[in-house]
Amino acid sequence: MFRILFHEPRIAGNTGAAIRLAAVTGTELHLVEPLGFDLSEAKLKRAGLDYHDLAVMTVHPDLDTALAALAPCRVFAFTAKGDELYTDIAYEPGDVLMFGAEPTGLPAEVLDDSRVTARVRLPMLPGLRSMNLANTASVAVFEAWRQQGFALPG
């Protein structure tokens, strides 16, 4: 299925919601350190409810290690400055949907990394900075999964 990658997430509640998203969609969740919270935080557990044991989650010490573990793959970097709309991408199983930290997003060195296949954006009203991280990941995952006919993982 698809892989969600959070680059240096800062808010436990968003990562908890992503754990739940991963569990209910059959996606993998990959977190790149440093994290802005402890994985045992109550907010993380509350947002993920009882889905922690049902989700596949891996924590990587850095982006290079994460992308090496996920290779070969296409990496779509979600950013408010993206060149392509998320609906214009033809997603394939195994694709990595990468998102940046709250509130800064992906840093320039990540967006410019040669392993990034495309910079992707969700449409928003002008003058607004960004959407919530977990909400953005949900929209992206469901579009990718929809394109696969909501096929079950496996």
The DSSP output letter for 62 is S
- 130 annotated ligand-binding residue: yes
**pLDDT confidence tier of residue 54, bands split at 50, 70 and 90:** confident
pTM, full prediction: 0.93
Q: Burial level of 66, CB count in 10 A (0-12/13-18/19+)?
A: buried
pLDDT averaged over the chain?
92
At 98 the pLDDT is 98
For the chain, how are helix, strand and coil distributed in percent, rounded to 5? 35, 20, 45
Q: Position of tokens 């979600």?
A: 78
Domains identified in the chain and CATH numbers: 3-147 (3.40.1280.10)
**pLDDT confidence tier of residue 53, bands split at 50, 70 and 90:** confident
Question: Under DSSP, is residue 141 helix (H, G, I), strand (E, B) or coil?
Answer: helix
77-112: pLDDT as tens digits? 999 989 999 999 999 999 999 999 988 999 999 999
- 122 annotated ligand-binding residue: yes
Phi, psi for residue 115 in degrees, rounded to 5: -85, -10
Closest by CA to 4, choosing from 68, 72, 57, 61, is: 57
For the chain, first and last CA: distance in Å? 8
The two three-digit tokens of residue 61, written as one number: 């010490």
Is residue 45 scored above 90 in pLDDT?
A: no
- 100 annotated ligand-binding residue: yes
At 44 the pLDDT is 61
